Amino acid sequence: MIKVLESVVSQVSIIGAYNTKFGSLVQKNKETGEVADLRSLYDLMIEAGRGALADAGLTAGEIDGVWVGSCAPGLFANQEHLAAFALEIDPIGLRYKPMTRCEDACASGSVALFDALYAVESGRVRTALVLGAEKMNLLDTKGVTHALATCSYWPDEGGLGTTFPGLFAEYAKGYARQYGYNAELLARMLASVSALCYRNGLDNPLAHFGKGGPSDRLGLTTVEAILALAPDKNPMIAEPLRLHDCSLITDGAAALVITKTSAVSEGSHKAVEIAGIAHCNERLALSHRQNLHELLAGKEAVRRAFAEAHIQAKDIDIAEVHDCFTINQLLTTEALGLSKDGQAGHDYLAGRFDRNDPQVAVNLSGGLKAKGHPVGATGVSMNALVYKQLVGEPVGAVPSRGQPEIGVAFNVGGSAVTNCVTVQRRIR
């Protein structure tokens, strides 16, 4: 049995972050099918990297290594060997620096952060730049579906036509069976998640579905409004998951700068300690899971990260959770211990976890449902926006209870296969 080192104390802090605008950053000609790229993968990486360096007040020459999270750039944008391009952020300052791409499906960004953190902790690297980037909208729906399906277990899932909505639909069915929820109640629970994220997204100027976007124009900020949509406006994608239970196909990038906490200037308001992390894998094939009503590997990741950070669920002020599908927001909320098992849907329906919650606010950014989900960038973005909340520079809704001290990002790759939990604590 592998011994878990829960006595480890992280000595690494985030000192800068940046998030590009998220969205469908292309122009598509419906008649010809031609696609014009408005913001390329390369543009997004350069913007995010330079933005994070500026936010940290560092030059590229002060960076010792670059880690890039990207899920499938070869399929999405015909570019493998992507990490090497990060040198173009500053061709002089970054030349000869090591650059590594990390891939773990939708958790690629978190894994890039963790690998950079390990390098800093080892002492070989003092300061690292972490990027997450994905350009998804150059492909049509069929192409995107295929690219994402390669992140499932291909022989039994993607290769047989199973999509990710179909995989997470199995969790939704398992959840309903386990707790005895009928279709109507489950639909209300799932819609309460979408409504919360859409409301928060209206305050995020970088969100894919923000102010003036489809969710705003249609007024989809309540359960009733979402459930009242005509079937053609909210079609069934994979029963019981409808269109508005699914996250967005998004282009975007985000970046972080991390360094040894001992190198942070005393009293710096821009430093946030990475107090605990955990990376736990589940079996790749859904058919090999112990059950489909809880995230067992996710719960173990939470246990390990919280133990390392010496916190409990009651200590969390804000959380960014992986709502690739609305059912996963219920599951991650329960895995974090913010709701009892089987009760997250009731809690969301009761109005819990919004910006006015007296205990903890969830997905103030709008989550993947509204902020968007450029898969390789998502983990970095989640951590970047938690960081921004903790340093008093929020991007998104603001918790009414005051300045948050502790934030958590719970990022998932594949069908809840790769589970990455990061605890951030503001340095006072």
Rounded-to-integer distance, Cα 39 and Cα 201, Å: 21
373 is catalytic: yes
The answer to whether the CB of 250 falls within 8 A of the CB of 23 is yes
In whole angstroms, give the CA distance from residue 115 to residue 119. 6
> One of 106, 197, 280, 324 is an active-site residue; which one?
106
Residue with tokens 């948050």: 404
User: Of 208, 279, 373, 420, which is the active-site residue?
Assistant: 373
- HEC assignment per residue over 104-123: ECECHHHHHHHHHHHHHHHC
Query: In 3-state terms, what secondary structure has residue 23?
Result: strand
Q: Which residues pair with 281 in a beta bridge?
A: 418
Residue with tokens 């308001």: 269
The arrangement of strands across the sheet holding 99-102 comes to 99-102, 65-69, 127-134, 252-260, 12-19, 272-281, 418-426, 406-413, 318-321, 361-362
Cα separation, 136 vs 119, whole angstroms: 30
Q: Secondary structure of 49-103 in the HEC alphabet? A: HHHHHHHHCCCHHHCCEEEEECCCHHHHHCCCCCHHHHHHHCCCCCCCCCEEEEC
Q: From CA 147, how far away is CA 58, in angstroms rounded?
A: 36
Per the document, the length of the chain is: 428
Tokens found for residue 40 = 């390329």
Q: Is 175 exposed, middle or buried (0-12, 13-18, 19+ CB in 10 A)?
A: buried
**Side chain identity at residue 409, one-letter code:** A
- Would strands 65-69 and 99-102 be described as parallel, antiparallel, or unpaired? parallel
Please list, in sequence order, all residues whose beta carbon lies within 8 angstroms of the beta carbon of residue 377, skipping any fewer than 6 positions away.
69, 70, 109, 132, 133, 134, 252, 253, 254
The residues annotated as belonging to the active site are: 106, 373
